[in-house]
Structure 1
Amino acid sequence: FTVSDLMRMEKIVLEKVCWKVKATTAFQFLQLCYSLIQENLPFERRNDLNFERLEAQLKACHCRIIFSKAKPSVLALSIIALEIQALEYVELTEGIKCIQKHSKINGRDLTFWQELVSKCLTEYSSNKCSKSNVQKLKWIVSGRTAQQLRHSYYRITHLPTIPETAS
């Protein structure tokens, strides 16, 4: 198929299942919640809540299939709420509750996902996750796919190596 064929088929499928292509992601909710919380922090404490750390925590959660079931807004708020608890910013607890109320997030849902996020991040930061796996990854493909890959390899024109010296 050509790229335009695939794009056309994708559009047809999305129309059939009434999918919203421009859905808001957990990352976008994380950015929004972070900016709202930052506005309420005193200037001297704004660097304490690190967005890169929050983003890394979100990425760690997305490595687990269970988090695909979480609403993006709930997942983002769970991560920020846990970070605020860890930093012991009691004054921001009301801000979290306000965001929760305006986002119409159930308290039980938030607590449930906070517990899962906490467990995930604890396991993620443990020594178990930092051990490197010496076993090499292997792709398992069908015989037909392997044959197609072997044939297509010879049709690929190899590009020259680009030197890594600074100009």
Structure 2
Amino acid sequence: MSAKDLMRMEKIVLEKVCWKVKATTAFQFLQLYYSLLQENLPLERRNSINFERLEAQLKACHCRIIFSKAKPSVLALSIIALEIQAQKCVELTEGIECLQKHSKINGRDLTFWQELVSKCLTEYSSNKCSKPNVQKLKWIVSGRTARQLKHSYYRITHLPTIPEMVP
């Protein structure tokens, strides 16, 4: 496949989506929902919900393939709703319901994704997540590729160690 073929395919796809390629992300919904909820909080409670924490939770969720199937608005609202429950910000419960209604998010969908987010974040914060896997890395290649590597002049003898920065 040539570069020209790729560009032609890209043009076809862009025409099919009417050149509208800027989709709203879960992060953008998270920012929007957060700012809307902050407006409804009294000044002394505005620091109770930390946006950086919400962002970190979203990043943790994005490490799991299952969350690629979630609608961005539902994923963002699920994360915020769980954080509000965890921080016991009862005064924002009505705000979550309002956002859910205006975003046209089904209650069953929200509950389903909240459960998955909760499970993900629980596993992410557990000790088993921080332990490195001691199993050696094994490359699995096809027989044909193995034969080509065996008979080629170019052999991989040693890969250099990647230096790690310790905080």
Using the size of structure 1 for normalisation, the TM-score is 0.75
1:113-133 Cα deviation digits (max 9, x unpaired): 101100110001000101123
Deviation, structure 1 residue 7 = 4.7
Distance 1:31 1:16 in 2: 30
Distance 2:33 2:17 in 1: 30
1:77-109 Cα deviation digits (max 9, x unpaired): 000000000000111000000000000001111
User: Sequence identity of aligned pairs in percent?
Assistant: 88
Deviation, structure 1 residue 12 = 2.2
Distance 1:138 1:20 in 2: 42
Distance 1:136 1:55 in 2: 33
C-alpha root-mean-square deviation of aligned residues, in Å?
2.7
Letter in 2 for 1:99: L
Distance 1:44 1:8 in 2: 56
> For this pair of structures, how many residues does the alignment match?
147
The equivalent residue for 2:66 is: 66
Gaps of 5+ in 2: 153-167
Using the size of structure 2 for normalisation, the TM-score is 0.75
Distance 1:8 1:47, change over 3 A: farther
Gaps of 5+ in 1: 151-167
The equivalent residue for 1:30 is: 30
Letter in 1 for 2:89: Y
